[in-house]
Amino acid sequence: MSALALSGPVRVTLRQHRTTLWTVGALALAGIAAVVIAWQVVASATDTFADTGCSVSKVTHGCGIAVRHFLSVGFYFHRLLEYSGLVMMLLPAFVGMFVAGPMVARELESGTFRLSWSQGISPARWLAAKLAVPAVATVAGVSVLSAVCTWAVPRADRTQYPMETYDRTVYGATGTVPVGYTLCMLALGALAGLLLRRTVPAMIATVIAYAPLTALLNRVREDLWPTVRTTENQWFRDNTTWLVDSETLTASGKPLDPAVCGEPGAPAACKGAVAYVDYHPLAHFWPLQLVETGILLAVAALAVALAFRVLRGLHA
């Protein structure tokens, strides 16, 4: 990027928050290094355990230490991925808080924004810089972190503690969804900062907005893509499938309580009844991710449009 491109409000924003950006970048690199190093330890322990000829499922004399070491390494890798997923789910809220408070509301609260506006920088350019700098930084950083999590999750299958693909923390840390949440909270944070114009209330409001947003999307996620229906006998559940619903139908297609058929004197309708399951296979992971990401980006675009509208009113 040329010096001209970094001049003006973008350059000022970078200088104002360079310490925070460098700190976050260092923490992200440390997290990536921790996951990669942990996987190297797991891969080495797995190969070493395979060479011993011992088995986790069968008790063999002299294999106690080897089995315990193999299980311990796999367990700690599983925990590391769980904590990484939790951090990835909380990261958008922190990004929104940072934009709402230190980047937008603090300047409006202290009045320092007038200095920028009096030096030939329009309010629109000022807000665009406040959005562009964290957007570029977080999209780049979150994309890398999400890619590392997406790479690491399937590798847990080599341990005795595989990760569930559709678990909320795993799903929220992999694919494109983390980027969508981050951009959405960035936009909502800017809107909260402009509306409240006070640092602490804007940060609190952003965190409060994150809770219902995630709760709603977690609730409707299963309906974002059509499920697959099959009989219970033909369905095989593993850590890459997501059971959404199940029901038992009579031969005529009427719902039936399966518990009734297991009791003495079961009704005749139980004869020929079939149990069905509705589920999402692994193949639905990316369609679900992209649809949810699209919803989040639409919300972010709406929040940005409202933010510029509020800014015009403030400038007037």
Over residues 169-185, the pLDDT tens digits come to 999 999 999 999 999 99
List, for residues 244-265, the tens digit of each pLDDT value.
Answer: 988 888 777 788 777 777 666 6
Q: What is the pLDDT of residue 51?
A: 85
Residue 1 resides in a domain: no
Residue 66 resides in a domain: yes
Q: What is the pLDDT of residue 59?
A: 76
* 255-256 sheet: strands from edge to edge: 228-231, 274-280, 242-249, 255-256
- On whether both 88 and 181 belong to a single domain, the answer is yes
List, for residues 126-140, the tens digit of each pLDDT value.
Answer: 888 888 888 888 888
- On whether both 248 and 101 belong to a single domain, the answer is no
Q: Please give the residue range of the domain that contains residue 75.
A: 9-225+285-315
Q: Mean pLDDT, to the nearest integer, of 75-93? A: 92
List, for residues 23-32, the tens digit of each pLDDT value.
Answer: 778 888 888 8
Q: Which residue(s) pair with 255 in the sheet?
A: 249
Our count of domains for the chain comes to: 2
- On whether both 254 and 119 belong to a single domain, the answer is no
The CA distance from 47 to 156, in Å, is 14
Of the CA atoms within 13 Å of residue 12, those in its CB half-sphere come to 18
- Structure-token match 């994309």, residue found: 143
Q: Mean pLDDT, to the nearest integer, of 13-33? A: 79
Distance from the first to the final alpha carbon of the chain? 34
Residue 99 resides in a domain: yes
- On whether both 66 and 20 belong to a single domain, the answer is yes
Residue 235 resides in a domain: no
Look at residue 166 and give its three-state secondary structure: coil
- On whether both 159 and 262 belong to a single domain, the answer is no
Residue 232 resides in a domain: no
- On whether both 275 and 309 belong to a single domain, the answer is no
**Cβ atoms of 124 and 311 closer than 8 Å:** yes
On average, the pLDDT of the chain sits at 85
Q: What is the pLDDT of residue 216?
A: 94
Q: Which band of pLDDT confidence, cut at 50, 70 and 90, is reported for residue 119?
A: low
Residue 1: pLDDT over 50: no
- On whether both 29 and 129 belong to a single domain, the answer is yes
Q: What is the pLDDT of residue 251?
A: 75
- On whether both 117 and 264 belong to a single domain, the answer is no
Q: Which band of pLDDT confidence, cut at 50, 70 and 90, is reported for residue 6?
A: low
pTM score, whole prediction: 0.86
Residue 86 resides in a domain: yes
- On whether both 160 and 201 belong to a single domain, the answer is yes
Residue 233 resides in a domain: no
Residue 153 resides in a domain: yes
Enclosing H/E stretch for 260: helix 258-261
- On whether both 152 and 247 belong to a single domain, the answer is no
- On whether both 269 and 292 belong to a single domain, the answer is no
**Cβ atoms of 95 and 136 closer than 8 Å:** no
The CA distance from 256 to 246, in Å, is 11
Q: What is the pLDDT of residue 8?
A: 65
- Strand 274-280 and strand 242-249: pairing? antiparallel
Q: Mean pLDDT, to the nearest integer, of 147-171? A: 91
- On whether both 91 and 175 belong to a single domain, the answer is yes
Residue 46: pLDDT over 70: yes
Which one, of 87, 90, 107, lies nearest residue 99 by Cα? 107
Q: What is the pLDDT of residue 3?
A: 40
